[in-house]
């Protein structure tokens, strides 16, 4: 056993996680196909979590949501400790900065107190 198990553990786990989420090379000895499968599973879960916080954005982007989120996630690996809520917000900011944020639907979200509820938009 090495002198500092925490240091070697940190290096090994970072190398794997970087390969899974940050475009790093697969560390030696790992099955590269499995790395890709796990990476895809992590990306899918991250997207599912963000989407659940953001139904209006998922509706607005429609089938383009997955491609847009994938591009965002590849450029911005999930930082340690970030919640799904914060990740959804960061995705929104990413799209806004690029001029790709769709207009947020009005009506449903702008109803003031005392205004009668309208059916539909």
Partner 1 sequence: MSGAVPDLGYGIGWRPAIDLTVERLPGVDFVEAIAEGLDPARLPPSLTALRARGVPAIPHGVSLSLGGAERPDPRKLAHLAACATALDTPLVSEHIAFTRAGGLDAGHLLPLPRTRETLAVLAENIRIAQDQLPVPLALENIAPLLAWPGDELTEGRFLYEVADRTGALLLLDVANLHAARVNLGVDPSAVLAELPLEQVAYVHVAGGVERDGLWHDTHTHPPTAPVLDLLTDLAGRTRIPGVLLERDGDYPSDPELAGELAAVRSAVARAGPAKPRGTGRTPAPHTRGPRADEPADPPHPAPHTAAPGPARRRADGP
Neighbours of 94 (CB within 10 A): 18
Residue 26 C-beta: closest distance to partner 1, Å = 10
Alpha-carbon distances of 82 from 11, 33, 77, 79, 85, rounded to whole Å: 21, 27, 11, 6, 8
- Work out whether 82 is an interface residue with partner 1 (CB under 8 A): yes
- Work out whether 75 is an interface residue with partner 1 (CB under 8 A): no
Phi/psi for 31 (5° steps) reads -75, 115
Residue closer to partner 1 (CB basis): 31 or 59:
31
The contact set with partner 1 (CB under 8 A) reads 1-2, 5-10, 12-14, 16-18, 20-22, 28-31, 34-35, 37-38, 41-42, 45-46, 49, 77-82, 84
């Amino acid at each position: 056993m090495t002198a500092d198990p925490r240091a070697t553990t940190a290096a090994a786990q970072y190398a794997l996680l970087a390969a899974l989420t940050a475009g790093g090379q697969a560390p030696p000895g790992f099955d590269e196909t499995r790395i890709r499968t796990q990476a895809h599973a992590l990306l899918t879960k991250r997207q599912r979590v963000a989407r659940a916080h953001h139904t209006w954005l998922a509706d607005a982007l429609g089938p383009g949501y997955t491609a847009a989120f994938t591009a965002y996630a590849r450029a911005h690996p999930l930082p340690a400790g970030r919640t799904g809520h914060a990740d959804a917000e960061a995705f929104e900011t990413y799209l806004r900065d690029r001029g790709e944020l769709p207009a947020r639907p009005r009506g449903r979200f702008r109803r003031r107190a005392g205004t009668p509820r309208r059916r539909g938009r």
